[in-house]
Each structure stands twice: as structure tokens, then as C-alpha cells.
């Protein structure tokens, strides 16, 4: 008797992202088929070898491309307000640092986020989330970092969880208390870092609101020593760490993060050779955020050729945030990673699937189409995978499968 499965995809081209299963780095099966059961990939391979399955639902896809559901592994999706006014100032010549030092920047969003209720944060973020989901995103990382006190950081992270309950998407949460020095700290940096470690983080852990701790290591934010205290606390609570590092200057943040076994170091425009070597040793993923580079009009690019040469995995994400990357298109981030940073189109696809899964510590479950992994799929109306990064502002998504089911409409 034919084995029962929940879902069967036929007449598809599949980028499994498993070089062992298909051809090339994307693991391509030109005439593929895929079966899912109990939310997991059960079988994937050439259609000619498809076993006799009795499927509850069959999708015949006319040669469309199927790949792992896309993963946006770095966002600040939950936040109050916008910073369009500050952007206008920057267009007239003010730098991001100047705006920040003048009390704008991150602190302007902190004010708006504190003033917003949890429900208001959810409502605003939901629209941004829907834009990501419309492109085939199935997992989104969301950071706190605009509350900067225990209650408001917790509020942000609860809002992020509510997004995951309202839409068919996996939300991964990071606590970013060390994002900026809040005004009430009145310049007491050590005192604030103590509060992050001894008040905010324990509250986040107690309520189970985050699985990782992030920080912003920069002259306008926190020093490597200050970040190290936060990472010590994260380690004591058994949380993973990741870091905004080397975005505007070389602080040695990536090497510091790698020393703590960080899942990722993100931005990396000013990353040094030592930083690359440390990331390679630790298996830390380089998360590239071309939206912030573009929106800030930066000129120093991350050392992509050196990262490639060293074999450091490169992920690509939107960094969706109101100050430096008000972007809600992961496909556009892929296009920018290719045009601005010279990733190959294949690398951009790896960057939003298997490398992004690794950056989230979820490579065992998502990011490639291996039997046993979550059956999260994006189905695209394209002739070849490079088209995903090629068009600008065009969405070729045909459909999404999440946990083995065709995604329900919002």
C-alpha cells in the first residue's frame, strides 16, 4: 500500500540548498518532487524516483522553483514611530553619528517605543511583517533595543511573540538592551550596563522572552569591554549571543563576539583580517546588511572577498529599522547584496536560507530541504534562481508552505 503523506509537490524545480541532494551549491533538482508529513520534509528527490505516496494534497507546479522558506535573520521590526524627519536632515548633510549625538537617532525611536502600547507596537509591526511574508519569508528574527528598561524591553519582545501568533511565521527573538545609553542613565555607562545584566536580562529570561542577546558595539553605543559584561551575563543564563559589530568603525567587536562563540556578527563594513579569522574559528556567521549601508550612504563595504576566501558563511538580512534601514523587502536586500557588495546571486540565496538558519542557531531545523527538516517552502514563478536577486521591487512569489501546510492567508 502507498505510504500516506500530507503534501506532495510535483513538477517542480527545487533548490534544496543541500549540495549532497542536488547539483551545485544550491543543490538543484531540475525535475524534482517533495513530500511532507507531520510538518517535516519526508522525501525530496528526482520526480523519476518518487515512491508511491498517497497524498492528502498534491500541488502540481508546472516547473516553478521551490526553495526553503526565506529567513530574515536580523530585524528591528517592532518599534514605535518613524524617523523620516531625521532622514531629511541627513539628506541635507548631517551624518548618522551627528544626528545621534544631537539626541535623534536611536533615542528618538526609544521615546516613541516607550510611548506606544504593546497593541500599538503589534499593529505597526504587523504591516511590516506582512510585507516580508508576501515575499516568501517564513522565519523572522526580531530584536528589542528601543525600550532600554526592563518593562519596555519586555513589552517589545511580547509584541514580537504576538506577531508570531497572528501570522503563519516563526519569530526568533533577541534581547538588545545594550543598543544605546538611555537618557535617564545620565552618562553612567557602567551603571546602565549593570542594569542590563542584573535587571533587564534576568526579567527577559524569567519570562522566556528571548533566546539570544545582541549588542551594538560602536563609538556611539558600547565598547567591547561593556559588551563583554553583557555577554558574560548572557552566558551565565545560557543564552546565545550575536553582535552589531564594525558597522561604522573597527572596534574589534567581531573578534570579541567570536570569542563568546557568537552565532553571528552583523554589519561588518570595517571588519579586520583578525576579525575574519576569529569568526572562522568560532563558526560565527557574517550577517550582511546592505540596506543600512545604502540608506546611510556609506562607502566602506564589508570584506566580502576575504570572508568568502576564509570560508565564513555569509547571511543577508533587511535590518528593518526606522533609522538606518527602513526596508521590508528581503528580495531587495538580496539585490543590494549582489549589486553593492558583490555577492553572487547564489550566495544571496544561501544568505537568506541556510546561512541565515545558521545565524539563528536553527540550521538543524530550517534553511535547507533535507528529510527531517521543517517543511517551510517558498515557491517562485521564475526561470532561474538568480532572478530572485535580479529584479528590483518585483515579487515573483507564487505560494508558501509552512510546517507542511499551504500557508493560510492573513
Site residues (CB under 6 A) for ligand DI6?
105-106, 109, 179, 216, 244, 247, 292, 319, 321-324
Of 86, 195, 246, 319, the one binding Fe ion by CB under 5 A = 319
| Residue 199 contacts residue 185 (beta carbons within 8 Å) | no
Write down the least CB distance from residue 344 to ligand DI6, Å: 25
Write down the least CB distance from residue 247 to Fe ion, Å: 8
Write down the least CB distance from residue 70 to Fe ion, Å: 18
d(CA 171, CA 22) in angstroms, rounded, equals: 29
- For ligand DI6, the closer of residues 52 and 299 by Cβ is 299
Residue at shortest CB range from ligand DI6:
323
- For ligand DI6, the closer of residues 324 and 368 by Cβ is 324
d(CA 374, CA 357) in angstroms, rounded, equals: 12
Tell me the three cell numbers of residue 61: 507546479
- For ligand DI6, the closer of residues 139 and 325 by Cβ is 325
- Tell me which of ligand DI6, Fe ion, none is bound by residue 72, counting a contact when its beta carbon lies within the kind-specific cut-off of 5 to 8 angstroms: none
d(CA 189, CA 193) in angstroms, rounded, equals: 6
3-state secondary structure of 22: coil
Q: How would you class 164 by CB atoms within 10 Å of its CB: exposed for 0-12, middle for 13-18, buried for 19 or more?
A: middle
Cβ contacts of residue 378 below 8 Å, gap of 6+? 66, 67, 68, 69, 70, 135, 136, 137, 138, 397, 400
Residue 269 binds to Fe ion (criterion: CB under 5 A): no
Residue 218 binds to Fe ion (criterion: CB under 5 A): no
- Tell me which of Fe ion, ligand DI6, none is bound by residue 113, counting a contact when its beta carbon lies within the kind-specific cut-off of 5 to 8 angstroms: none
Q: How would you class 60 by CB atoms within 10 Å of its CB: exposed for 0-12, middle for 13-18, buried for 19 or more?
A: exposed
Size of the site for Fe ion (CB under 5 A): 1
Write down the least CB distance from residue 218 to Fe ion, Å: 11
Q: How far from 99 is each of 79, 106, 177, 319, CA to CA, in Å? A: 18, 9, 21, 19
Write down the least CB distance from residue 95 to ligand DI6, Å: 12
Strand 53-68 and strand 377-380: the pairing is antiparallel
Residue 141 binds to Fe ion (criterion: CB under 5 A): no
- Tell me which of Fe ion, ligand DI6, none is bound by residue 106, counting a contact when its beta carbon lies within the kind-specific cut-off of 5 to 8 angstroms: ligand DI6
Interacting residues toward Fe ion by CB under 5 A: 319
Amino acid at each position: 500500500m502507498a505510504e500516506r503523506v500530507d503534501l506532495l509537490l510535483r513538477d517542480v524545480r527545487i533548490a534544496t540548498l543541500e549540495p549532497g541532494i542536488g547539483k551545485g551549491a544550491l543543490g538543484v533538482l531540475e525535475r524534482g518532487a517533495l513530500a511532507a508529513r507531520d510538518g517535516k520534509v519526508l522525501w525530496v528527490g528526482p520526480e523519476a524516483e518518487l515512491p508511491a505516496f498517497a497524498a492528502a494534497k498534491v500541488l502540481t507546479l508546472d516547473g516553478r522553483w521551490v526553495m526553503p522558506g526565506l529567513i530574515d535573520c536580523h530585524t528591528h521590526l517592532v518599534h514605535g514611530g518613524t524617523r523620516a524627519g531625521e532622514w531629511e536632515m541627513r539628506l541635507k548633510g548631517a551624518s548618522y553619528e551627528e544626528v545621534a549625538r544631537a539626541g535623534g537617532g536611536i533615542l528618538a525611536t526609544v521615546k516613541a517605543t516607550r510611548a506606544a502600547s504593546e497593541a500599538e507596537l503589534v499593529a505597526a509591526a504587523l504591516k511590516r511583517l506582512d510585507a516580508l511574508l508576501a515575499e516568501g519569508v517564513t522565519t523572522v528574527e526580531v530584536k528589542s533595543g528601543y525600550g532600554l528598561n526592563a518593562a519596555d524591553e519586555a513589552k517589545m519582545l511580547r509584541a514580537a511573540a504576538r506577531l508570531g501568533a497572528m501570522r503563519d511565521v516563526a519569530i526568533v527573538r533577541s534581547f538588545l538592551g545594550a543598543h544605546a545609553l538611555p537618557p535617564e542613565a545620565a552618562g553612567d555607562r557602567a551603571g546602565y550596563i549593570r542594569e542590563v545584566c542584573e535587571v533587564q536580562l534576568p526579567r527577559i529570561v524569567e519570562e522566556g522572552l528571548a533566546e539570544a542577546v545582541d549588542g551594538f558595539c560602536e563609538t556611539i553605543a558600547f565598547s567591547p569591554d561593556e559588551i563583554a559584561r553583557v555577554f558574560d551575563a548572557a552566558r551565565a543564563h545560557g543564552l546565545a549571543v550575536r553582535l552589531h559589530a564594525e558597522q561604522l568603525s573597527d572596534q574589534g567587536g567581531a573578534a570579541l563576539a567570536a570569542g563568546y562563540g557568537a552565532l553571528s556578527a552583523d554589519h561588518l563594513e570595517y571588519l579586520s583580517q583578525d576579525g575574519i579569522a576569529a569568526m572562522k574559528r568560532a563558526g560565527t556567521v557574517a550577517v550582511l546588511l546592505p540596506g543600512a549601508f545604502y540608506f546611510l550612504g556609506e562607502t566602506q563595504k564589508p570584506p566580502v572577498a576575504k570572508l568568502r576566501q576564509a570560508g565564513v558563511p555569509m547571511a543577508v538580512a533587511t535590518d528593518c529599522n526606522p533609522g538606518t534601514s527602513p526596508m521590508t523587502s528581503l528580495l531587495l536586500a538580496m539585490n543590494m547584496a549582489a549589486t553593492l557588495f558583490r555577492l553572487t546571486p547564489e550566495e544571496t540565496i544561501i544568505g537568506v536560507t541556510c546561512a541565515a538558519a545558521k545565524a539563528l542557531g536553527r540550521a538543524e531545523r530550517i534553511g535547507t530541504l533535507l528529510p527531517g527538516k521543517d517543511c517551510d517552502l517558498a515557491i517562485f514563478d521564475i526561470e532561474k534562481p538568480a532572478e530572485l536577486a535580479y529584479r528590483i521591487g518585483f515579487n515573483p512569489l507564487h505560494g508558501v508552505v509552512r510546517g507542511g501546510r499551504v500557508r493560510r492567508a492573513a
